Structure 1
Amino acid sequence: MTALRKYSVSLRGHRTSFTLEPEFHAELKAIAEERKLALAALIFEIDTEREEKVNLSSALRLFVLRSLKKSA
């Protein structure tokens, strides 16, 4: 299993961080490229749609999972 890494991004004018496995981060980048979005824009979308009780890292993983299941 790959070690978790901490990443930072600016959302709504302030820096925030999230922790993901590099494989999930790579999939997020691929999805953003596929949609012709900046990675920060995709993360912003996911962040605005997530439930308040779900942390950003979990929301990002679930988004990747759902995206991969849709394309399978």
Structure 2
Amino acid sequence: MTVSFAFDPDIKDRVRAATDIVDLIGSRLELRRQGPGYVALCPWHNDTRPSMQVNPSKQIWKCWVCDIGGDVF
């Protein structure tokens, strides 16, 4: 059985524009203000010092230990 979904190709852009990454990540992790951004303990490794940064102006996040990051997706 094949299922086909039709959706607006710009939906990801609309979701990005409507979602604040600080609110999204802050709803799951404890964020602490550091300079112009935020830091948190990374949930992908046994973090004891905040190595995950959230950049509100670029709407991205990155863990410097795991070397992973992204946006609201």
More helix by share: 1
Normalising by structure 2, what TM-score?
Answer: 0.26
> Highest Rg: 1 or 2?
2
Normalising by structure 1, what TM-score?
Answer: 0.26
More strand by share: 2
